[in-house]
Structure 1
Amino acid sequence: MSGNKMLQFVTVERKTPEKRTADVRTEDFGEIYREFAAERAAEQAGRCSQCGVPYCQTHCPLHNNIPDWLRLVAEGRLQEAYEVSQATNTFPEICGRICPQDRLCEGNCVIEQSGHGTVTIGAVEKYITDTAFENGWVPTIKPRRERTESVGIIGAGPGGLAAADMLRRAGVQVTVYDRYDRAGGLLTYGIPGFKLEKDVVMRRNDQLAEGGVEFVLNCEVGRDITFDEIRQKHNAVIVATGVYKTRDLGGKNADARGVVNAIDYLTVSNRKSFGDDVPAFDDGSLNAEGKRVVVIGGGDTAMDCVRTAIRQGAISVKCLYRRDKANMPGSQREVQNAEEEGVEFVWLTAPAGFEAGLQEAMEGGVAVSGVNVQKMRLGEPDATGRQAPELIEGADYVEKADLVVKALGFEPEELPTLWDKPDLQVTRWGTIKADFRTHETPLEGVYAVGDIVRGASLVVWAIRDGREAAEAILEKMTVADAPVIAAE
């Protein structure tokens, strides 16, 4: 009987959750996709072919048991589907919203390769856990027994929180240190609400806090507490700071007012959505309303910026990218959403400095008035296999702009210097050196996960790293050697 629920891809077409129209969704920062209804989720899950070699699973960094929970959804066994989904992924409802499924699970779906359209894996994944929360199937974290060992985690982003979740469930005492006033890192302040509404993140933060994870917020390591002090307080330390240093652009007038970093722009917008008092938004410095906006970059962060500017009421929003559409590193789904919302993409263009005027000198120096743009063409492939952009001589022009957002990617901060820890080894790229299986660094008891090891990457990879580091730490904490205290 259960077999009849599956293999429906020949007769049932691929359907995604309803997407709010562009003119409606750009009026707010709410998520643009509506929730699947139970019947539609089961129908779409039933399109899975249950293939013998599930490429969706092998191409997922967490190796989620996708065919298994798709079958359970198709059969209406949603609570079991949640339990299977949660077994391999700490935050499935977040991955279902923000993972680039077109490049991972869905992009490698077998029925997609056969021309039938991929299973809508991400939407079903989101639906499963949202339904579990609504029905009270998500239990409070209650370790079977408490341990005396403690782990300090520096950084409350997805990698750090994933590690905190696993360690706390095993009874380990966990303290998370973070520079911001809310936990979540990139999930809270870097990703706009139209992709990930903040109550989804806060819900997980609350679950961890209620489960016994201690959060020490507004805490800057190297300023409010030293790295060595954290090491002395805990049996092990996980560094999960992410990478927040913006790659610089340079050029004429690069320091003009109105030339801003993507992370600053997105953080201010997200703080405003929380209802915070944000002077940099209120005075117009990091607010696109009534402005001609130019965003430089072609990744997912650039897409977040252009779509944020549209919602803030910009007069025009243009995205400059040095390659063409086919070579963009960002999700094609996000590019399509941006185009629908009115963003203009200017392909094969690169900035060569900025024009600036003196009209606002009394308010803090010259203000940007335009971007000096160089036209490019694609030449021979570079070391990555992608065609390298080449300058077209004599084709420069000025793109008028009142606000320019640099979304050129992120680099690691100089942690050995900031933390006064010269023996914290880093690579030539500034990322922390760590074992790729256990994530332990050459410093005894110190682990590192996520972007601070990989460089700027996906949330799902950070979650995987955090879980693996937690597992490695727990392996060292054997039951025989660990004193145990009774849970209350």
Structure 2
Amino acid sequence: MMPRPHFDFLDLPRQMPQELGVATRLALGGEIYGHFPPAEAKAQAGRCLDCGNPYCSHACPVGNAIPQWLELVRQGRLFEAATLAHETNPLPEICGRVCPQDRLCEGACTLEAGFEAVTIGSLEKYLVDEAFRQGWRPDLSRVKPRRERVAVIGAGPAGLACADRLVRAGVGVTVYDRHDEIGGLLTFGIPPFKLEKSVIATRRQVLEAMGVRFQLATEVGRDIEFGRLMAEHDAVFVGTGATTPVDAGLPGQALPGVLPALPFLIANARRVLGRPLAEDEAAMLDLAGKTVRVLGGGDTAMDCVRTAKRLGAARVSCVYRRDEAGMPGSRREVKNARDEGVEFLFHRAPLAIEGQGRVQALRVARTEATGRGAFSVLEGATETLTADVVILAFGYRPSPPAWLVGHGVRLAGNGLVLGGPAAAGSEPAWCIDSPYQTSLPKLWAGGDALRGADLVVTAVRDGRDAAAAMLRQFKGIAIRSAA
């Protein structure tokens, strides 16, 4: 690369792509940020200081070569930028949209203090979208087919990343998923105002053109036996996620009008995709004119409050037990929710959901911070909030399928699949070099099924790295314990 200017940031402020006005984005329902024009993308990429010690790359869970592809964008070399972005991240256009960059790469940017960070996420989205639009596709012309075949269970980010890396190495891959579209929670959980479904459709086309086979609307354990997949493949990867909601045990949470977050978001995704809705799904989405209280402070809670606004709720509030600084989700999502008219009620811990026949109110206790994210309930300081609908967004725990247990896969006490030395237990019969290999040597796991509910980008990393470990084993490279 040619030497680059290092001080563009002194004259050019940080700029995001054009943002739709609130009324327009609530009416349209799609992504709220537009695309950079090429000249603006080049200019924003030129703000990179090229600081020599790329804190942005170090803070990225997949270790993206961010300064390098920013320079390629600045020079207008989009195809090279897209190729480089895919070297570390099998799903860059998705991570560019849904990663909490303010807590990761952009939060670590040298310019963040004093000059504002480079718009890394928006530029990642731009370079891949525009390269796809211009016809760029991964070059597999030199890939030689291998004899191995791998089954991937779960078409979420971990499974897709694993499939991408395996097929690039010539391995035959079939991905099984119980849904009729790929993406897992990318499709059926994350709302279209953050990730339009056409983005997932494009990625499916790219993967299929690379040679990945998808067998959808197929539930392992019901439509096809897990044992058959193990017998017919050289390896199996499990990326089934963590979708069982955390149970807060609130009195009244069984009342009609109390909705778990994930079924609510899935119903909305099915509506967006034009799928027929069951009666209970349609009822979940009937929020017009209602008062909606969402309990929780993470990105799922932000997805719920913003979805409720788009479904016509008259009043939407996020009820959270800590202060705003203690919220675990993206600061950008909190800002977007506030811009769209969502009310935030901090320092309120839910005590009970009340009503006769259906939800009518939410009783909460006031709290105060006691340091390091801890809080205490103020004695006698309670209040009752009117509510027509209460959405529970307390997070998710592992959801190990019954067939895993039935085949002797070692699980942690909380249901997570055990990988690495922990999976081996006291059995000396096999020895591994990867945290993704389970107690069945042919079975690998990654994403939320292995680590618990986490970010999309960490699931991508797991799928990518599990595939790399499989390939080492396929090639007969000596393996050793990671202990």
Q: Name the TM-score class by shorter chain.
A: over 0.9
Which aligned pairs between 1:77-476 and structure 2 lie closer than 5 A? 77-113=77-113, 115-139=114-138, 144-280=143-279, 283-357=282-356, 366-379=357-370, 381=371, 386-415=372-401, 417-421=402-406, 423-435=408-420, 437-476=434-473
Distance 1:311 1:431 in 2: 35
- 1:426–1:16 distance in 2 versus 1, CA, 3 Å: same
Superposition TM-score, scaled by structure 1 size: 0.92
Q: 1:223 deviation in Å?
A: 2.4
Distance 1:294 1:143 in 2: 55
- 1:286–1:418 distance in 2 versus 1, CA, 3 Å: farther
Superposition TM-score, scaled by structure 2 size: 0.93
- 1:280–1:330 distance in 2 versus 1, CA, 3 Å: farther
Q: 1:267 deviation in Å?
A: 0.5
3-state SS of 1:393 partner = strand
Residue type of the partner of 1:296?
L
- 1:352–1:5 distance in 2 versus 1, CA, 3 Å: same
Share of identical aligned residues, percent?
46
RMSD of aligned Cα (Å): 1.9
Q: Is the 8 A contact 1:143 1:169 kept in 2?
A: no
Q: Is the 8 A contact 2:36 2:126 kept in 1?
A: yes
CA distances 1:46-93 after superposition (whole Å, capped 9, x unpaired):
111111110000110111100001111112222211111111111111
3-state SS of 1:146 partner = coil
Residue 484 (structure 1) aligns with:
none
Residue type of the partner of 2:71?
R
Residue type of the partner of 1:34?
G
Residue 10 (structure 1) aligns with:
10
3-state SS of 1:394 partner = strand
CA distances 1:375-411 after superposition (whole Å, capped 9, x unpaired):
11112x4xxxx33121112222221111111110000
- 1:407–1:148 distance in 2 versus 1, CA, 3 Å: same
Distance 1:91 1:370 in 2: 42
Aligned length: 466
Between 1:168-177 and 1:279-288, the stretch displaced more is 279-288
Residue type of the partner of 2:391?
V
3-state SS of 1:193 partner = coil
3-state SS of 1:71 partner = helix
Q: 1:479 deviation in Å?
A: 8.5
Q: Is the 8 A contact 1:143 1:171 kept in 2?
A: no
Distance 1:308 1:140 in 2: 38
Distance 1:285 1:92 in 2: 33
CA distances 1:166-221 after superposition (whole Å, capped 9, x unpaired):
11122211111111111110110010000000000111112222333222222222
Q: 1:229 deviation in Å?
A: 2.0
Q: Is the 8 A contact 1:268 1:280 kept in 2?
A: no
Q: 1:286 deviation in Å?
A: 3.3
Q: 1:414 deviation in Å?
A: 3.7
CA distances 1:87-112 after superposition (whole Å, capped 9, x unpaired):
11111111111100000000000122
Between 1:404-413 and 1:421-430, the stretch displaced more is 421-430
